[in-house]
Amino acid sequence: MAPVIAVDLDEVLGDFVSPLCSFHNEKYGTRLKRADFFSYRFCEVWGGNDVQATEKVHDFFKTPYFKNQPVIPGAQEALPKLRGLGFELVVVTSRQFKIAQDTRMWLEHNFPKGTFKDVAFGNHWGLEGHKVTKKELCQKLGASLLIDDSLSYIQEVSQCGIKGLLFDLDGKYPWNKTSELPVGVTRVHSWDQVVDRVQGI
């Protein structure tokens, strides 16, 4: 069997925060930018509580800002290289079940058919339905490596022996800064670095 790499979606394959800022700025008169997101718990960035933040994000899901989410630079070029190295790719996202169809459509629009063997949803901020951890998703799919921008998810999977690449585009993701990384985890600043690191595994 081919080794499996699990790939996060938001901030790894697609830029979620930038269009979210555009939506929020237009609707609420703010001036948010990516650099303001010291946390990926959005209520800590723009105020309110988790329930209110989740409702705002669900409003965002209904807009063209979300549906036209840009691709992270380098992702479209790097994924075929990883497949060429003999790896199978699966998308492992904390996204809600509610937007599963929109998510699959976005992936199909931006990446060639067959790029991903599977797409798995954690439903972490879903308003209903059960939630599944990234660790559980990765174990179920047999992943030996997770590429993710979330330090907490990387730490979670590292506890069960899954290696991690902490994605930090151009070193400008303030929400995943830390002075220490778990054993088996490497910070990467681009998709070119991802390919280089995977080649060395």
Mapped onto helix, strand or coil, the DSSP state of residue 188 is strand
- Asked about 10 being catalytic, the answer comes back as yes
Contacts 24+ apart (CB under 8 A), 58-65: 58/98, 58/127, 59/23, 59/27, 60/19, 60/20, 60/23, 60/24, 61/98, 61/99, 61/102, 63/23, 65/19, 65/20, 65/22, 65/23
Spatial CA neighbour of 41 closest among 56, 30, 63, 26: 56
**Contact, 37 vs 16, CB < 8 A?**
no
Cβ proximity of 98 and 61 under 8 Å: yes
Query: What is the spatial distance between Cα 2 and Cα 179, in angstroms, rounded to a whole number?
Result: 34
The active-site residue, picked from 10, 148, 149, 168, is: 10
In order of 86, 87, 91, 153, 154, the CA distances from 146 in angstroms are 16, 12, 10, 9, 7
**What is the CB-side half-sphere exposure of residue 190 using CA atoms within 13 A?**
7
Active site residues: 8, 10
